[in-house]
Structure 1
Amino acid sequence: MSRPSAGTSVPGPMLAEAPAKPDSKRFIQLPDSSTVVLREGSTLLYPVAFNGNEREVTLTGEGYFDVREQPGKPFRIRSGKLVTTVLGTAFTIKAYPGQEHVTVTVNSGKVKIEEHDSNKLLGILQQDQQIIYENSAAVAETRRVKAEESVTWLKKGMDFNSVPFGDIAEQIAGQYQVKIEFASESLRNCRIRATFEGTETLDQVLFVLCTVGNTTYTHSEKGIVISGEGCMETNSSIVR
């Protein structure tokens, strides 16, 4: 769960954590509307607001970033011994504690990779390029890859084939850190067929689920409330 640091009256950094159990994910929308999906056991430290002339976060583990472009305000991710700088792009970083390598893979756009301590430029990557940095030797290798293969974990658990709405809501609530309630308990049993990429925002996911389930959703102070007739037919499906 996200929480401010203690011991100060000024809002401190937020810590987002993805549970360490298999296929768990955590979706975060940053103050600039950039989004991050954390893989199981990963954490992201980020400010309440991006003040000043740059945006900076710290990743431990693995995460998929979709960064909103802001001219003159670069976005930087600290991960292990590396600093990744972008202006607007989608990419993944894999930097687990204790692992020998840090890996950055670009899905779209362009990123700059530097060593954190020396500021040494290791490479500038474009779409379908990957850099693997060896921590002990302080050397980096750049190669061409199919970037989509590095994010197959995003889709795991996001293919719902006739799954009860209540079960899906429980998973989505954990992934997006929001409370989801049903106006009628009968709606929980409506079976849903829907497939997601794993990078969608909460509203995009809810729109699809409610369209398929013949329901609507509203935001409340406590979270999300799902209501409506529901279950007009159990074989509806939609693929994103």
Structure 2
Amino acid sequence: MQDYRNFEPEELAIDLSFQRWKLFNDPIASNFWKDWLVENPDKKELVDKAHYLLNALNSAYSQSTNDRISISDREIQYEIQRLHQAIDTQPESVVKRFRFAPWQYGIAASILIVMGLFWRYSIHPPCTKVDVTYSELITQTSKPLLEVSNENTGPRLVRLPDGSTLLLKSGGRVSYPKNFQGNIREVYLTGEGFFEVHKDPSRPFYVYAKGLVTKVLGTSFTVQAFESDKQVKVVVKTGKVSVFARNETALTQHKEDTKLEGIVLTPNQQVVFSPTNTRIIKSLVEEPALLTSAAQNQPFRFKGTPISDVFATLEKSYGVKIVFDEEVMKSCYLTAALDDEPLFEKLDLICNTISARYEQLDAHIIIDSKGCQ
């Protein structure tokens, strides 16, 4: 499963899904990436850089072999530096016109390999680790905090000052101020807890767990952040949740407004965060549940139903985006009763019936089909 938010431009340029979108205008890939950009508007610059790089490399590879000549490693490094500077320092109008001469890509594959190493370790050094312990988190705040721990074998209900609640699992600890003052609400967690946050759009609610920050306005979600684990997990049950790696720049930007930015999660979505390399992987939960609004005897019985209507029903019922080529699958219909099966079993049955297949990508379901007779 790809974590596109953490990709560098050169990594994105060689991704097959990205190439199918930009080079071949593949409908499924196009739908996925358009949706991805809507959900990740702050990554438009990444996409633009990767697109520019892909065009340059594609042009180089399209040259005939006879037109290519070998160039030295020093020349390769020089051209890479020129490419980076052209992208990062020139106005957009200039960047769009900037191109290398064909001979400068005599060994384009080598350039791509070197470029990955050069950008990652020379221009964009590896991310600073943001792994922070619970004790370090609470000592970094100047506010006096109350702490509640759960030494029992079962969960413990914690009522927070604003009316929000936390179901704290065994072995967990949480710290928070006696009263939430100002325009933000902040708590610090180690272990596992299920939050039901009182809705207050004017005062965002923050959960700090290791190096991950979860920001909400009013929703329910689970945070797993055990000291002994190398990862942090956030799972959304209702509403929307924003998550981002904890650093001073991110905290300043996100506290300046009440919008949910960063990686936004909706019901049946989750992220797994690795503090040691700041990787955040977004995916669907293992067993997506029916949304509350659709849980009341939602019928999944289809009789000669167009596949687009079938997928629309699943999307509405589970809150999961399903990406497919509607034109290719316009002749596909489904007759089946799928009342009791979990979502992924439903998809298995549907795809087996219409000779299609599916995969999960960045919390989307991607359907691959050659159509129906």
Q: For residues 72 and 114 of structure 1, what CA distance do their matches in structure 2 show?
A: 20
- What percentage of residue pairs aligned between the two structures are identical? 34
Superposed displacement of residue 62, structure 1 = 0.5
Deviations 1:1-30 (A, max 9, x none): xxxxxxxxxx931101011x5x42211111
Q: For residues 55 and 96 of structure 1, what CA distance do their matches in structure 2 show?
A: 22
Question: Is it true that 1:18 corresponds to 2:150 in the alignment?
Answer: yes
SS in 2 for 1:119: helix
Q: For residues 288 and 235 of structure 2, what CA distance do their matches in structure 1 show?
A: 6
Check 1:39–1:71 CA distance in 2 against 1; reply closer, same or farther (3 A cut): same
Structure 2 equivalent of residue 133 of structure 1:
273
Q: What amino acid is aligned across from residue 18 of structure 1 in structure 2?
A: N
Q: How many residues align?
A: 136
Larger radius of gyration: 2
Q: For residues 276 and 148 of structure 2, what CA distance do their matches in structure 1 show?
A: 28
Structure number with higher helix proportion: 2
Q: For residues 39 and 45 of structure 1, what CA distance do their matches in structure 2 show?
A: 14
C-alpha contact 2:212 2:275 (8 A) present in aligned 1: no
Structure number with higher strand proportion: 1
Instruction: Decide which of 241, 247, 250 is 1:119's aligned counterpart.
Output: 250
Q: 1:181-220 maps to which residues of 2 (within 5 A)? A: none
Q: What amino acid is aligned across from residue 119 of structure 1 in structure 2?
A: A
C-alpha contact 2:210 2:225 (8 A) present in aligned 1: yes
Q: For residues 59 and 39 of structure 1, what CA distance do their matches in structure 2 show?
A: 11
Question: Is it true that 1:70 corresponds to 2:200 in the alignment?
Answer: yes
SS in 2 for 1:133: strand
Question: Is it true that 1:97 corresponds to 2:227 in the alignment?
Answer: yes
Structure 1 equivalent of residue 185 of structure 2:
55
Q: What amino acid is aligned across from residue 71 of structure 1 in structure 2?
A: P
Check 1:100–1:122 CA distance in 2 against 1; reply closer, same or farther (3 A cut): farther
Structure 2 equivalent of residue 81 of structure 1:
211
Q: For residues 26 and 78 of structure 1, what CA distance do their matches in structure 2 show?
A: 19
Superposed displacement of residue 147, structure 1 = 6.0
Q: What amino acid is aligned across from residue 268 of structure 2 in structure 1?
A: D
C-alpha contact 1:26 1:37 (8 A) present in aligned 2: yes
Q: For residues 263 and 234 of structure 2, what CA distance do their matches in structure 1 show?
A: 11
Q: What amino acid is aligned across from residue 60 of structure 1 in structure 2?
A: T
SS in 1 for 2:250: coil
C-alpha contact 1:105 1:147 (8 A) present in aligned 2: no
Q: What TM-score, normalized to structure 2?
A: 0.35
Q: What amino acid is aligned across from residue 13 of structure 1 in structure 2?
A: L
Q: For residues 80 and 90 of structure 1, what CA distance do their matches in structure 2 show?
A: 20
Check 1:135–1:69 CA distance in 2 against 1; reply closer, same or farther (3 A cut): same
Q: For residues 278 and 246 of structure 2, what CA distance do their matches in structure 1 show?
A: 11
Q: What TM-score, normalized to structure 1?
A: 0.54
In structure 1, runs of 5+ residues without a counterpart are 1-10, 149-240
Q: For residues 98 and 36 of structure 1, what CA distance do their matches in structure 2 show?
A: 21
Name the Cα RMSD after superposition. 1.8
In structure 2, runs of 5+ residues without a counterpart are 1-142, 252-260, 290-373
Q: What amino acid is aligned across from residue 54 of structure 1 in structure 2?
A: I
